[in-house]
Structure 1
Amino acid sequence: MIYLSDVRDWLKSVTNAEHYYIGKLNNKQDKSIGVYSLKQSGAPARAIGDESTYSTMCVSLLLHWNNNAKETEQAARKLFETLYSIKNVKINEHTIYIIELLTPEPIDVGTDDKGIYEQVIEVKFYYERK
């Protein structure tokens, strides 16, 4: 099984953020990436029987960057492209078969109450069950 903390730790090897977190973090620092469970509707898709070789994990990545809209967008698009093109990924010793980006580009969610720009990337990881 892959946990949010595993995704957070893996992101440290593929991004240039200064801070990483899961769950709610008060007083978010600039150039942070937060990893959250992505709430989706409907029943999860499963293979027939107990012998399924894969599972999925859906996450929302929040880039809480800085007070410059252009720099925030650039950081989000760089991460998006990294996720789109990366190969041979392992997270917590699980082989990642597919990284599915659930939107065609990062989602601009505006600024927080301190004027820091934020963007979201929604991702579904298909990974090897052990």
Structure 2
Amino acid sequence: MLSLKDIRQYISGLAVAEDDNVYIGKLDNKKQKSIGVYSRPSSGPANIAIGGLECTTYETKPVSLLIHWNKSKDESEKKAFELYEKLRSVTSLTIGDTHINYLRLMVPEPQDVGSDDAGVYEYVIWLDFIYERNR
């Protein structure tokens, strides 16, 4: 199983934001220059190979990354693209003891979602972690 906690650690290791500013779940009073790691709902059928779970070799973890940066549109956009480019440039990845077969970016670039009530600009990146299933 690939957990959000493991993905949070991976995203923190990319050094786009300080470790204390990368979080999972809800963070009250979001700090500026932070990244949130969330599960993303998915739809459609489960991927189960012919022969059942014992023959199924991979799982998919859909994730949404919220880049909650600052009140500068330009700086916020640059940070969102910095993270996007780091994800797009991955050539090999293991998170914890889980081998990631594929990072599927589900948007062509970070999506501008405007600013929050405090005027802090936010961007979202949707991606799927497709990983080897522990059998």
Would you call these one fold, judging by a TM-score over 0.5?
yes
- SS of the equivalent of 1:27 reads coil
Are 2:82 and 1:102 equivalent residues in the alignment? no
Question: Pick from 45, 62, 75: which aligns with 1:58?
Answer: 62
Paired position in structure 1 for 2:22? 20
Question: Pick from 24, 42, 45: which aligns with 2:44?
Answer: 42
Q: String of CA shifts for 1:89-129, please: whole Å, max 9, x gaps.
A: 11121011100000111110000000000000000011011
CA distance in 2, matches of 1:36, 1:11: 12
- SS of the equivalent of 2:7 reads helix
Q: String of CA shifts for 1:28-70, please: whole Å, max 9, x gaps.
A: 0011010111112222333222211111100000000001111
Structure 1 residues 71-80 or 34-43, which shifts more?
Answer: 34-43
| Identity level (%) | 48
Paired position in structure 1 for 2:81? 77
Q: Could you say which structure has the higher helix fraction?
A: 2
> Which sections of structure 2, spanning at least 5 residues, go unmatched?
none
Count of residue pairs brought into register by the alignment: 130
Normalised to the residue count of structure 2, the TM-score between the two structures is: 0.92
- SS of the equivalent of 1:12 reads helix
TM superposition outliers: structure 1 runs of 4+ over 3 Å: none
- SS of the equivalent of 1:87 reads coil
CA distance in 2, matches of 1:31, 1:44: 36
Are 2:118 and 1:117 equivalent residues in the alignment? no
CA distance in 2, matches of 1:46, 1:80: 30
Q: What RMSD in Å do the two structures reach over aligned CA positions?
A: 1.0
Paired position in structure 1 for 2:3? 3
> Which sections of structure 1, spanning at least 5 residues, go unmatched?
none
CA distance in 1, matches of 2:6, 2:105: 18
